[in-house]
């Protein structure tokens, strides 16, 4: 039997009571007439977000076994998350370890909102099936390696029946084990919080033991993933877009977070040597992450020593998915509200605004002040990175397109930043972050300068309101490009705005749901 006190101490349950009230009035915000003229659309956006949340969750679950309408009766193993039902041009009829973990983490959030509900019971069945399948997948030999030396855990994707994919691919990818560990630790915390008697019951070892035991060589799912991350993090692998080999921001961000949370979990289970080891390796990773800041460019880069610009949606995703799910005393490297993430988002947004014709705003051309568009940060359709040539079906000389998941993630960054500033009562503008805040308030009469501001300062409130309204602008872009049924593909065309690529991309729905969730907290 496991000592209950450790789990309750190490894993603090934290949940928000959520609602979607009206956005605060912008009447006192000195902004351009163009921004204020969009305000009547906010009620429409509110209604659409509520409606789209239901649609997005239903369409996400359609891609998940058991029960999903897109997978039922098609030989899909229970616990599988297909990336998309598209099987030809492009073929996304696979389970990616990364995508599945991110999707399941979204479902854990929904489960935790009301663990006693019938929906939570249904989600628990799915999450249990996912956990069981991941244990099987871990032990499945594949082109990346085997379970005996843990090298096989770097395999990025599997067939929908759980068998290995043996074709040529960008492997290994080292973010999957970290993300899976984070998702399962999240589920373990929330399930324990909603079943407090389980920890001290005779069945506790059977349940919790499948997630984590101190046994070496590792046999439990989370333990195996943490051992993989702690021993392989400093070796090169392919990025989350499966194109570039090297050391990547996204991968290292989620790796550091998984090891820090894993250290707490290991102590909970009396695995003190492993706890110290995981914490030590996390510290090494965080030191390396400092090298991803390019002071000359004034931005973070996704991959070290790459020929690319370094601007990448992966920077946003790395920040979001490395954020603790509950209140934590651990310092967070590059959280969404950090200067480095915000100025990188600014640089990416400016690039994508000019790169994609669909992002042009006719009113910009009619504005007498040519500087307004140059210096005002606005919601824009975001793609993966400037050099992208994948158009949803293959490589194109025309270049890539905006992606739904990247556009939604930008909104989530802004909502989380607004929430953080509001909750801490502190807005600190530094030399590094100044360009972002100047651009954010580019249409305002307020001057922005380096300093610390609080609730008694007009700038404090204007920044929060503008963060929320700009987040809404990004979701307005999403709203514009979904179809009449609320469906989201992978991309929308850079010129026409119509959807392209894999249909019903699971990650598109999940990223929207996460942004909508962050919005509720932000405007509450």
Residues annotated as catalytic (active site), given as ranges: 239, 242
How far is the C-alpha of 242 from the C-alpha of 251, rounded, in Å? Answer: 12
How far is the C-alpha of 512 from the C-alpha of 103, rounded, in Å? Answer: 11
In which element (H, E) is residue 102 found?
A: helix 97-113
Dmax (CA) for the chain in angstroms is 74
In which element (H, E) is residue 428 found?
A: strand 427-429
> What is the Cα gyration radius of the chain?
22
Q: Which residues contact 325 (CB under 8 A, 6 or more apart)?
A: 14, 109, 186, 189
Q: Which residues contact 513 (CB under 8 A, 6 or more apart)?
A: 53, 56, 57, 60, 106, 110
Q: Are 383 and 313 in contact (CB under 8 A)?
A: yes
How distant is the alpha carbon of residue 213 from its chain centre?
A: 28
3-state secondary structure of 340: helix
In which element (H, E) is residue 185 found?
A: helix 176-194
How far is the C-alpha of 31 from the C-alpha of 384, rounded, in Å? Answer: 30
CA dihedral (327, 328, 334, 336) in degrees, to 10, reads 0
In the chain, how many H helices and how many E strands? 18, 10
Report residue 78: phi and psi, to 5°.
Answer: -65, 135
Q: Are 49 and 20 in contact (CB under 8 A)?
A: yes
Return the number of other C-beta atoms located less than 10 Å from residue 234's C-beta: 14
In which element (H, E) is residue 137 found?
A: helix 118-138
How far is the C-alpha of 428 from the C-alpha of 206, rounded, in Å? Answer: 48
Structural tokens at position 269? 């289970």
């Amino acid at each position: 039997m496991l000592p209950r006190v450790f789990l309750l101490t190490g894993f603090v349950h934290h949940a928000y009571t959520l609602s979607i009230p009206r956005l605060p009035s912008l009447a006192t915000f000195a902004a351009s007439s163009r921004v204020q003229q969009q305000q009547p659309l906010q009620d429409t956006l509110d209604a659409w977000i509520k409606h789209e949340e239901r649609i997005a969750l239903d369409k996400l679950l359609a891609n998940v076994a058991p029960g999903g309408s897109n997978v039922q009766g098609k030989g899909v193993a229970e616990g599988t998350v297909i990336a998309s039902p598209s099987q030809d041009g492009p073929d996304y009829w696979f389970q990616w370890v990364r995508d599945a973990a991110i999707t399941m983490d979204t479902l854990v959030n929904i489960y935790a909102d009301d663990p006693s509900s019938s929906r939570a019971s249904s989600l628990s069945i799915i999450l249990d099936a996912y956990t069981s399948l991941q244990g099987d997948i871990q032990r499945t030999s594949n082109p990346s390696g085997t379970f005996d030396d843990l090298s096989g855990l770097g395999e990025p994707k599997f067939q929908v029946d759980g068998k290995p994919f043996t074709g040529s691919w960008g492997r290994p990818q080292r973010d999957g084990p970290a993300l899976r560990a984070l998702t399962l630790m999240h589920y373990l915390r929330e399930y324990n919080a909603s079943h407090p008697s389980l920890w001290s019951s005779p069945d506790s070892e059977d349940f919790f033991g499948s997630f984590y035991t101190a046994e070496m060589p590792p046999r439990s799912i989370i333990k195996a993933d943490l051992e993989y991350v702690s021993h392989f993090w400093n070796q090169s692998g392919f990025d989350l877009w499966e194109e570039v080999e090297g050391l990547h921001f996204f991968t290292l961000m989620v790796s550091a977070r998984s090891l820090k949370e894993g250290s707490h979990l290991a102590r909970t289970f009396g695995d003190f040597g492993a706890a110290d080891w995981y914490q030590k390796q996390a510290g090494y990773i965080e030191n390396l992450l400092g090298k991803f800041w390019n002071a000359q460019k004034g931005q973070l880069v996704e991959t070290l020593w790459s020929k690319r610009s370094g601007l990448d949606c992966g920077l946003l995703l790395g920040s979001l998915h490395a954020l603790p799910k509950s209140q934590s005393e651990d310092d967070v490297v590059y959280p969404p509200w950090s200067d480095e993430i915000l100025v990188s988002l600014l640089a990416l947004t400016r690039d994508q605004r000019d790169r994609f014709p669909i992002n042009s705003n006719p009113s910009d051309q009619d504005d007498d002040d040519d500087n307004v568009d140059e210096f005002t940060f606005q919601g824009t359709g975001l793609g993966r990175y400037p050099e992208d040539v994948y158009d949803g079906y293959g490589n194109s000389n025309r270049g890539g397109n905006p992606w739904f998941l990247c556009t939604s993630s930008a909104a989530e960054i802004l909502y989380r930043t607004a929430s953080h500033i509001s909750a801490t009562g502190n807005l600190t503008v530094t030399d590094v972050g100044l360009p972002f805040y100047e651009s954010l308030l580019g249409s305002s009469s307020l001057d922005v300068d380096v300093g610390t501001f609080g609730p008694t300062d007009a700038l404090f409130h204007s920044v929060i309101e503008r963060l929320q309204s700009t987040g809404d602008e990004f979701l307005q872009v999403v709203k514009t490009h979904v179809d009449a049924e609320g469906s989201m593909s992978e991309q929308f065309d850079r010129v026409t705005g119509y959807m392209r690529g894999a249909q019903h991309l699971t990650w598109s729905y999940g990223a929207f749901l996460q942004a909508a969730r962050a919005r509720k907290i932000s405007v509450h």
